[in-house]
Amino acid sequence: MTTAYAEITELMQRYFDGFYNGDVDLLKTVFHPSCHLLSARDGSLTDDDMEAVYKRVAGRAAPSANGEVNRDRILSIDLANPEIALAKVQIAIGQKLFTDYLNCIKIDGDWKIISKVFTYDVLEQGAVSAQAAE
CATH for 46:
3.10.450.50
- Asked if residue 64 has pLDDT above 80, the reply is yes
Q: Please check whether residue 24 is in contact with residue 18, taking contact to mean a CB–CB distance below 8 angstroms.
A: yes
Please give the Cα distance from 117 to 48 (Å, whole number). Answer: 11
Looking at the structure of the chain, the number of domains it has is 1
Residue 132 lies in a domain: no
Which pLDDT tens digit goes with each residue over 13-36?
999 999 999 999 999 999 999 999
pLDDT digits over 35-50, tens only? Answer: 999 999 889 999 999 9
Q: Please tell me the distance from the alpha carbon of residue 49 to that of residue 84, in angstroms, as a whole number.
A: 21
Q: Report yes or no on 133 lying in a domain.
A: no
Instruction: Place 131 in a pLDDT band, splitting at 50, 70 and 90.
Output: very low
Indicate if the pLDDT at residue 128 is higher than 80: no
Domain containing residue 121:
2-127
